[in-house]
A and B are shown apart, each in its own frame.
Chain A
Amino acid sequence: MSSLDMLAVEHSTGISEDWEWFEERGPKEQFLRELKMLEDRLANLPISEGSAEVDLNQLLMKEMERLWESWREHSLKPDSRPETTVDILKEWEGVVLTVSNDDVQARLTDMNDPANQEELVTFGLDAISPQDHELVEPGAVFYWTVLRETDAFENVRNYSQIRFRRLPAWSRGDLERAETEAEQLHEELFGGRDE
């Protein structure tokens, strides 16, 4: 096992420990804190050469998806919060198109059924948690979840939650792979001639 592979395993175990800790506690705020930590770690990954770096990226992305998935289950589990239940009504994936003053314009795609109609929405920066503000720029990807909260007295509240994805950085591996693929495709389509 190379030192880079070991680094990957180390990271993975670290996350699993956090993960157990998270599972014991469970509630939404905890999830969000956890996700933030994970995303920060993803953004600050040690940059190294070769494929192990890519694996590490993928590993962390997978953990993030799991965290997300588990929270969804968690929030649906009635016994986790006996006094209040939260249902997910809709999940959108959004892409920021423009940001002007305090207005964010974005395109939303239905995550459960991408064939459903896309929406064009405008919302205020104030709908985004302050620690995500730095991520809000054209091309940024986020999740928009519409939730229903029902309390013990059957009071219902429908609300939205917007979370920005902290995408990993381009690695040297990503760039090199693209260069090789492009060269190969260029050779096949255009005979590799000079432009």
Chain B
Amino acid sequence: MEGTSEGAPAPESIEVSIFGPGVGECSVLHLGDGKWFVVDSCTDKRGDPIALNYLRKLGVNITEDVTDILVTHWHDDHIAGVAELFEAADSATFHCPSAFDSRNLLQLLSLQRGAKISGSSGCDELANVFEILRERKPKYSRTAKVGPELVKADQVLVRKPPLELHALSPSSTDITNARHDFAELLPQFKSPKRRLLEWYENDASIVLLLVCGERSVLLGADRETTDHQNTGWSVILNSSVRPQVKAGVYKVPHHGSENADREEIWTELLEKDPLSVVAPYRTSGLPRKSDIKRLKSRTTQLYLTAPVEGAEPSHSSTGIDEGMRAVARQRQLLRSGFGQVRVRFDRDDDDDGFNVACFGSAHQI
């Protein structure tokens, strides 16, 4: 698999690998002793889940050693390929934001699936995951709980001393808002069918904080800032319950966009000059030049998983490009120049700093 590192980490080596193909992102965490926790999912240019390919390349026993899969929110760019990954990871626990037990969301999934509008989507992925969960229900039990783990703020998802994985969101207000959004998305009788797109508002994404002794990593999902104290980054910043630590590694939220950035994140939640990783989102042109400039003023250690602009497509069969140029003002490949930013550190040695390496198109800027 091009664009990724080789060689599995040692049992005591903690790894946070952030992948981004240009659209979407996926973080793969080695939590020690050969056990893996996958956050979000995206696919490569062939449509294969990146996390699955990467772990296979490392020789990981997917069935047994992928213990958890978590989707931070349900947008296409964070969920592509997750059903295939979950299918392969037989013993993994599936985590999703608390609002996902909404009947309205389940209705949306069913409607989009039935409508067969276009290609596969985040709706299909989630519907397939729920189908897998249903199939895995133990035969002997009628009552066994089979649903996903519903995540909300201030939960500890993993406790493996000296390591802990905390969820910092969604807040209870986020959850209420998300349920409301799902209800709003339900189509009206006689309204025309259409494809549900990824940027419908849903801010209930899961921000994760990995704490390991003195070092920690903040994974910002697509969390944005809001005007309300009980939502967005405010509710995280205001929390007295979250671990009062500062992270040295930061997965920059929402592909580096300005509306996901706040001065206080850098002063309250992060160490000075943190190692920061942005996964681009080409369909929205994120990060913009101004975003990169702003982020560079915050830290000298800024990394991109892939170029912001995709390569120009070129078809081998003559005439296709010419025929498209007649109409298209701009064309780019959605997924090209994919890369991995890998951070490793020794779980048992607090003096061991973060060892960063880039693979494929990932680079420091």
Contact = CB atoms under 8 A, between A and B. Distances in A.
Interface of A: 43, 47, 89-90, 93, 95, 97, 103, 105, 107, 109, 114-115, 117-124, 127, 137-141, 144, 146-148, 156, 158-160, 162, 167-172, 174-175, 177-179, 181-183, 185-186, 188-191, 195
Contact of A178 (B111, B283, B323): B111
Q: List the 10 closest pairs (A to B, CB-CB), nearest first.
A: A158-B323, A182-B106, A139-B194, A189-B147, A146-B323, A178-B110, A167-B193, A158-B319, A182-B107, A118-B334
Interface string B87-112: 00000000000000111101111110
A118 B335 contact: yes
Nearest to B46: A115
B334 A190 contact: no
Given A120-B331, A123-B328, A139 B189 contact: no
A129 B137 CA distance: 51
Given A118-B334, A169-B190, A123 B329 contact: yes
B322 A158 contact: yes
B328 A122 contact: yes
Contacts of A148: 319, 323
Contacts of B137: 188
Interface residues of B, number: 61
Contacts of A188: 134, 137, 146
B102 A195 contact: yes
A88 to B, nearest CB: 10
Contact of A107 (B47, B148, B283): B283
Interface in B98-130: 101-104, 106-111, 114-115, 117-119, 130
Residue with the greatest number of chain B CB neighbours at <10 A, chosen from A47, A117, A168, A169: A117
Interface stretch (B215-223, B225-233, B309-317): B309-317
Contact of B106 (A97, A141, A174, A185): A185
A159 B317 contact: no
Nearest to A185: B106
A185 B101 CA distance: 10
15 contacts: A47-B190, A115-B47, A120-B334, A124-B327, A140-B194, A144-B324, A159-B323, A167-B193, A170-B189, A174-B111, A185-B106, A190-B147, A191-B147, A195-B103, A195-B179
Contact of A167 (B46, B117, B145, B148): B117
B355 interface: no
B265 interface: no
Contact of B334 (A117, A123, A175, A183): A117
Given A89-B317, A119-B313, A170-B191, A162 B327 contact: yes
B336 interface: yes
Given A89-B323, A120-B282, A188-B134, A174 B115 contact: yes
A93 B130 CA distance: 27
A170 B324 contact: no
B329 A122 contact: yes
Contact of B335 (A89, A117, A174, A186): A117
B302 to A, nearest CB: 24
Nearest to A114: B119
B100 to A, nearest CB: 9
Given A122-B328, A169-B191, A182 B145 contact: no
Contact of A172 (B110, B114, B189, B328): B189
Interface in B312-365: 313, 315, 317, 319-320, 322-324, 326-336
